[in-house]
Structures are given as structure tokens and as C-alpha cells.
Amino acid sequence: MSAEDWLKNSIMAKRALAKGATGTTHGLTIEQQGGFHYVYGPYAKPTLSIDPGGVVVVETEDAFGGVITSESDSPTAKLNFPYLNPQCGPIAVKGAKKGDCLAVYIRDVETRGAQPAGTTCIIPEFGGLVGTAATAMLNPPLPERVKKLHVDRNGVRWNDKITLPYEPFIGTIGVSPEIEAISSLQPDYHGGNMDLPDVAPGAIIYFPVHTEGGLLYVGDCHATQGDGELSGVAMEQRATVTLQIDLIKNWSFAWPRLETRDFIMTIGSARPLEDAARIAYRELVRWMAADYGFDEIDAYMLLSQAGRMRLGNMVDPKYTMGASILKNYLKA
């Protein structure tokens, strides 16, 4: 089965209005976007309104808004909180209403812009192994440090000896809450800054719709990232993101879901980290019960033997984990 073949049997193909078929392609360049957004909310006008099945080719800015241009830059001096992690969109999907679900098939994430195209850095009081605004400490911070690296489809050149594979994904993507406007630095039930490497080309991510049109935002692509995004910063890059966006009517659930050829995944974001894991696994139990015929307790017992858990981030305002099970095991 090719990477594409499974799509014909995906949930998107089976349940969405366009049946997974590709509609009109739309561009959303930096120029077309105009200003970026720094919250996920219903208070912004759509930059684009598309039919179910439409493809959108979005140019995204990096998480720093592109201001870290040299290894001698000071992140503290350059970054202007809360105007971080600029987001494109929102993209409205015609006919989407509260109680529906957006299906977003990620076709591609391509590095954009001049080399060195990848940036990572140490930002004081931010990261997984330092005191932060929330895990407040009196210790002195780590010194700032910036790395600018060559990134392309052949890999991320960490240094002369190490090239990491190019394993791109979308760090921040989601839909608008009903009434909240949530910082683009935060992941939550609406998606947002999940920093979960499974949100990658080849996957379909499903978001429950909370407001008219769904209002999809996207930004913050990574060329690669370790589990947890330990220092708080991945291999940040500007990117060209190709999304195919479909609409499933009357499919509602609490947290984002994801499908690949091999597995289904539920995504939870919370603190402490065990609560992110609990959310993800409970959603998976509920999904297995609702759509695959499992008794809840049997699903729970099976996941105890065969569930898989991916750590997305352990650095953002909420931590993110993705719980998954192979499709092979979805036989109650």
C-alpha cells in the first residue's frame, strides 16, 4: 500500500463531505496574510474561506517572527512577548458549525527562505530543564545561545559530524475556541501549540469545530524535533505548508484526533504531564468504544498492553502527549 493508498480508507474519505477528494487549491502567501495572529480566537476575520476538500498552500513565518537572523542575536532583546509564534489564517470552511469536525490532511511541509534556514536557541526562563514563569525558581538562568543551521530535505546539519533527518511537522495548528482567544504559545482542546511530531506530512488531524467556519490557524513549522522539545525550541523554520481541508458533519469530541496509515491517535494537553496522558488515553478509550465496538473496560485493558504514547512538548504553557493504537488492533 503506498503512502497515499490508505487515504482512500481514512475516516476523512469515509465521513467527510468531499470524501477526501481534492478540491480547489488556494494560496495564502505572507503578503496575502498581511498581519499575523497571536491568539486562536473568534475575534479575527478569515483571510480565506474555502469549500470542503479545498487545498491551501500556506507560507508560514517561524516561531520567532523571523527576527533571529544571526547566531549573535540575543533572543531576549529581539523577542517581543506576547507577539510570538505568528499564525496564519484563520481559514474558514464553508458550512462548518459547532458540533462538526475539520479534517486536515497534511500534504507537505517544505522549508522556505534563505539558508541557514533553521534556528534554535536557548531563551532564559524557558525550557524543560530550567526554572520558568510557571515553575518559578530563584536560580540564575542559563546563558542565551543561538544556532542557525542549514536545513533542507536532505537533513539538518547539526555540525560537521551529525546530520539529523529532515522530519518536518507543524508545531502549531488548530481551530478557534467558541469565545476564548488563546495565546498561540499554548496548546489546548482546540489544538494550538502542541509541538507534537506526529502532526506531520502524511497524517490527517481532526479538530472539533467550536464556531462558525471552524477558523483554522497554522504556523510554527519545525524541521525536526525531539520528544518533549526539551530546550523549549525545536529546529524552527519558515515553511510552505500544503493542507487539504475537509469537513465532517456532526462528529464532535473533546480533543484533537489524528490518523495515519497505521494508527489512530488522540492528543491531550495539560499540566501536570500525567493529566495530558490521562486526557489522551481517555479520549482513545472513548473513541475505541464509540467507533470500533469496544467495551470501555476492554479498551482500557488492551491499551495497557498495546497503547503507545508520544511526548510532544514538556515546555509550553500546557504539555502535550499523543496516545495511539495500531489500526490492526482495532478489533473488539
Binding residues for its own copies restricted to 11-50, rule: CB under 8 A: 38-39, 41, 43
Min CB(316)–its own copies separation in Å? 12
In this chain, which of 208, 281, 316, 320 binds its own copies, going by CB under 8 A?
281
Binding to its own copies in span 236-275, by CB under 8 A = 254, 268, 270-275
Query: What gap in Å lies between CA 241 and CA 207, rounded to an integer?
Result: 18
**Could you say whether residue 60 binds its own copies (CB under 8 A)?**
no
**Could you say whether residue 82 binds its own copies (CB under 8 A)?**
yes
Q: Tell me the backbone φ, ψ of residue 219, rounded to 5 degrees.
A: 180, -170
Min CB(46)–its own copies separation in Å? 16
Q: Residue 219 contacts by C-beta under 8 Å, 6 or more apart in sequence?
A: 36, 60, 61, 63, 85, 86, 87, 88, 171, 172, 173, 184
Of the pair 3, 297, the CB lying nearest its own copies is at 297
In this chain, which of 61, 173, 303, 316 binds its own copies, going by CB under 8 A?
303
Binding to its own copies in span 88-127, by CB under 8 A = 120, 122, 127
Query: What gap in Å lies between CA 12 and CA 203, rounded to an integer?
Result: 11
Q: Residue 299 contacts by C-beta under 8 Å, 6 or more apart in sequence?
A: 284, 285, 288, 289, 332
Min CB(332)–its own copies separation in Å? 8
Of the pair 209, 270, the CB lying nearest its own copies is at 270
**Could you say whether residue 278 binds its own copies (CB under 8 A)?**
yes
In this chain, which of 108, 178, 252, 262 binds its own copies, going by CB under 8 A?
178
Q: How many other CB atoms sit within 10 Å of the CB of residue 332?
A: 12
Q: Tell me the backbone φ, ψ of residue 32, rounded to 5 degrees.
A: -65, -35
Binding to its own copies in span 211-240, by CB under 8 A = 224-235
Give the binding-site size for its own copies (rule: CB under 8 A): 82
Of the pair 104, 170, the CB lying nearest its own copies is at 170
Q: With CB under 8 A as the contact rule, which of the stretches 10-18, 45-53, 54-62, 177-185 interacts with its own copies?
A: 177-185
In this chain, which of 31, 35, 162, 250 binds its own copies, going by CB under 8 A?
162
Query: What gap in Å lies between CA 99 and CA 118, rounded to an integer?
Result: 39
Q: How many other CB atoms sit within 10 Å of the CB of residue 251?
A: 20
Nearest CA to 317 out of 182, 217, 225 is that of 182
In this chain, which of 111, 314, 316, 320 binds its own copies, going by CB under 8 A?
314
| Residues facing residue 54 across a β-bridge | 245
Query: What gap in Å lies between CA 309 and CA 217, rounded to an integer?
Result: 26
Pairing relationship of beta strands 25-28 and 54-60 according to DSSP bridges = parallel
**Could you say whether residue 56 binds its own copies (CB under 8 A)?**
no
Instruction: Write down the residue that cell numbers 495572529 correspond to.
Output: 37
Of the pair 26, 190, the CB lying nearest its own copies is at 190
In this chain, which of 12, 50, 265, 302 binds its own copies, going by CB under 8 A?
302
In this chain, which of 1, 77, 114, 138 binds its own copies, going by CB under 8 A?
138
